[in-house]
């Protein structure tokens, strides 16, 4: 079933799973995506994987962006992917940003995280990737 | 177009409380997708029975936090509730940051709650029509109450009146002196005034000013607005706020005002849809239809003014 009319804005959920309180990166990305014409549902800090997946479903997003700086990504990201699968919503692409060691990033990509942005990534690159991922899902 | 047709499968899924179907249908309505008309038509007979509670008021008065607490209150009363939270779209990029979900703290496992953020996209009238259809979808999905939060805005954000059965205007202390309450706009549409952040100094004064305003007879259809004081951290007055909403809903039923108000809202909705429809069709035809093109040429050449041209078109369109 076609998801959206053509030219409908891309809807993206930006959330921070886990317990760290460093949301500056998530906010900067949210703003960049907004300025690129997207509708950004900003779910904020300390979201459980369950809350994130619920928000993604209710908001009918085209894309999920997760930001994490606590080091718990190997536990929390796969949990989000598992829950999406359980809800038959594995078609929603997930990308991530934060402090994620290369080895972990490789494993997370293999697990299904579609793109991972570390420190120094350009906003332009993030926006371009987000748009590409969202359009592929629509 | 009309008449008995089989409802689209999506509608059946919505009625069977499939949350993802509801979410998807809301997108289709919002986007004006080709499927939207069939969905709206199929659900309409199932709607119009539940309270639609609108919260409006200036930026930062605590509408989202209040809604979070109202949702908890309704869940305690064993009523299911769906929330529509509208935030502004950028008039420049069309983008939006929808941040009302941050205040939303229900357990992720509660199926009795559904929260949806909406960007305001085009102009205010259009938002109202789309919001009404989204609220109907939520009713068709079995929710007992819908709460709508408007864009936090200024003095004339009165479109909520064309959406909600009960309009709550949320204010905080120190928004201005009592002359502010005499001004037109927000103060005219409240069924319930809510003075939030009532723990702050000045709350009593604000409440008194509002009560005085209500005493002057600002209400409509024989209802004089109630005034409630609330705060969200820590929570206080939430029960009173919901009771005030319920009292207004009961008033609507008792007096027959519900049917009259609904009739007025539906007329507004139809006119808004027609305006959108005709406006779009006309904009497309102005450069293509030879006759309209000639008319536009004459306006450009200053031989006829825009108002007269519009009147001529309008007369043609509405001739019986």
**Which residues on chain B are in Cβ contact (under 8 Å) with A57?**
19-20, 23
The pLDDT score that the predictor gives to residue B184 is 63
pLDDT at residue B309 tops 90: yes
pLDDT for position A66: 96
Specify the pLDDT at position B5.
62
Query: What pLDDT digit, counting tens, does each position of B77-112 carry?
Result: 999 999 999 888 888 888 888 988 888 888 888 999
Residues B199 and B281 in one domain: no
Question: Higher pLDDT residue, B7 or B26?
Answer: B26
Number of Cβ pairs closer than 8 Å across A and B? 94
**A34 touching chain B per CB within 8 A:** yes
Q: Are residues B41 and B53 in the same domain?
A: no
- Please, is B187 exposed, middle or buried when counting C-beta atoms within 10 Å of its C-beta (0-12, 13-18, 19+)? buried
Element spanning A103, H or E: helix A102-111
Contact with chain B for residue A60, Cβ under 8 A: yes
Boundary-marking domain end, from B232, B255, B278: B255
A42 contacts chain B (CB < 8 A): yes
Residue after which a domain boundary falls, among B227, B255, B283: B255
Query: From the list B23, B94, B99, which residue is nearest A58 (CB)?
Result: B23
Written as six digits, the tokens of B85 are: 């939270």
Give the model's confidence band at B123: pLDDT under 50 very low, under 70 low, under 90 confident, else very high. Answer: low
Q: Is residue B298 part of a domain?
A: yes
Instruction: Kindly give the residue spans of alpha helices, DSSP state H, lying in chain B.
Output: 9-15, 19-30, 36-43, 63-76, 124-140, 186-189, 203-215, 238-255, 257-286, 290-300, 306-318
Chain A residues in contact with B31 by the CB 8 A cut-off are: 4-5, 8
Q: Which residue in chain B has the smallest CA separation from A57?
A: B20
Task: Write the residue in A1, A50, A60 that is nearest to B23 by C-beta.
Answer: A60
Using a CB–CB cutoff of 8 Å, tell me whether A104 touches chain B: no
In chain A the domains, ranked by start, together with CATH numbers, are 11-137 (3.40.50.280)
List pLDDT tens digits, range B14-69. 999 999 999 999 999 999 899 999 999 999 999 999 999 999 988 889 999 999 99
Q: Total structural domains in chain B?
A: 3
User: Are B279 and B155 in the same domain?
Assistant: no
- Other beta carbons within 10 angstroms of residue B304's beta carbon come to 15
Which residue, among A31, A29, A57, has the nearest Cα to A115 in the 3D structure? A29
Find, in chain A, the residue whose alpha carbon is nearest to that of B108.
Answer: A51
pLDDT of B120: 85
Q: Is residue B260 part of a domain?
A: no
Residue B11's domain spans which residues? 1-45
Position B161 scores a pLDDT of 87
Same domain for B204 and B236?
Answer: yes
B88 part of a folded domain:
yes
Q: Do B101 and A44 touch (CB under 8 A)?
A: yes
Give the model's pLDDT for residue B317: 74
Question: B250 and B217 in one domain?
Answer: yes
Would the pLDDT of A4 be above 70?
no
B199 and B304 belong to one structural domain: no
Q: Which residues of A touch B26 (CB under 8 A)?
A: 60
Residue B31 lies in a domain: yes
Backbone dihedral region for residue B302 (phi beyond 0: left; psi -120 to 50: alpha; all else: beta): left
- Provide the residue count of chain B: 320
For residue range B126-141, what is the model confidence (pLDDT) as tens digits? 567 789 999 999 999 9
Comparing CB atoms, the residue among A5, A37, A43 nearest residue B101 is A43
Residues B228 and B282 in one domain: no
As for the ipTM of the complex, it is 0.91
Q: Which of B95, B112, B127 to mutate to test the interface with A (most CBs of A within 10 A)?
A: B95
Tell which residue, B114, B97, B107, has the closest CA to residue B23. Answer: B114
Beta strands in B43-165 (DSSP E): 52-56, 81-87, 96-98, 113-119, 145-149
Of the candidates A9, A44, A88, which has its C-beta nearest B94's C-beta? A9
B124 domain-assigned:
yes
Chain mean pLDDT for chain B = 87
Cβ distance B109 to A59 less than 8 Å, yes or no, reads no
Which of B95, B97, B117 is the closest to A59 by Cβ? Answer: B117
* Tokens of residue B78, six digits: 């064993």
pLDDT reported for residue B124: 53
């Amino acid at each position: 079933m076609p998801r959206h009319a053509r030219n409908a804005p891309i809807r993206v959920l930006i959330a921070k799973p886990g317990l760290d309180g460093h949301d500056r990166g998530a906010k900067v990305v949210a703003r960049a995506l907004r300025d690129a014409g997207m509708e950004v549902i900003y779910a904020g800090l300390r979201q459980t994987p369950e809350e994130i997946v619920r928000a993604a479903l209710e908001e009918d997003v085209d894309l999920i962006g997760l930001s994490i700086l606590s080091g718990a990504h190997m536990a929390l990201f796969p949990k989000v992917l598992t829950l999406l699968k359980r809800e038959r919503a594995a078609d929603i692409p997930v990308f991530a940003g934060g402090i994620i060691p290369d080895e972990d990033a490789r494993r997370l990509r293999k697990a299904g995280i579609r793109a991972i942005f570390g420190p120094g990534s350009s906003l332009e690159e993030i926006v371009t990737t987000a748009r590409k991922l969202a359009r592929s899902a629509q | 177009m009309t008449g008995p047709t089989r409802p689209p499968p999506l509608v059946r899924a919505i009625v069977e409380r499939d949350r993802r179907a509801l979410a998807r249908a809301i997108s289709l309505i919002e986007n004006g997708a080709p499927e939207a008309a069939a969905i709206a038509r199929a659900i309409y007979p199932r709607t119009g029975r539940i309270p639609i509670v609108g919260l409006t008021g200036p930026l930062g008065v605590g509408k989202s936090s209040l809604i979070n607490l109202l949702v908890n209150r309704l869940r305690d009363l064993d009523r299911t509730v769906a929330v529509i939270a509208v935030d502004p779209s950028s008039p420049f990029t069309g983008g939006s940051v929808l941040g009302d979900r941050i205040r939303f703290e229900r357990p992720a496992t509660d199926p009795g709650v559904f929260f949806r953020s909406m960007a305001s996209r085009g102009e205010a009238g259009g938002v109202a029509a789309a919001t009404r259809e989204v609220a109907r979808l939520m009713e068709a999905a079995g929710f007992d109450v819908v709460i709508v939060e408007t864009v936090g805005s200024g003095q004339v954000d009165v479109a909520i009146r064309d959406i909600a059965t009960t309009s709550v205007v949320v204010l905080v202390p120190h928004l201005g002196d009592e002359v502010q309450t005499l001004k037109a706009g927000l103060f005219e549409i409240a069924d319930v005034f809510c003075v939030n952040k009532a723990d702050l100094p000045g709350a009593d004064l604000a409440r008194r000013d509002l009560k005085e305003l209500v005493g002057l007879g600002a209400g409509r259809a024989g209802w004089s607005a109630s005034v409630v004081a609330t705060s969200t951290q820590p929570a206080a007055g939430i029960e009173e706020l919901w009771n005030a909403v319920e009292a207004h809903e009961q008033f609507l039923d008792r007096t027959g005002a519900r049917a009259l108000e609904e009739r007025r809202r539906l007329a507004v909705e139809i006119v808004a849809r027609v305006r959108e429809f005709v406006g779009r069709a006309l904009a497309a035809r102005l450069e293509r239809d030879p006759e309209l093109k000639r008319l536009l040429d004459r306006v450009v050449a200053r031989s006829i003014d825009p108002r007269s041209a519009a009147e001529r078109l309008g007369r043609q369109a509405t001739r019986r």
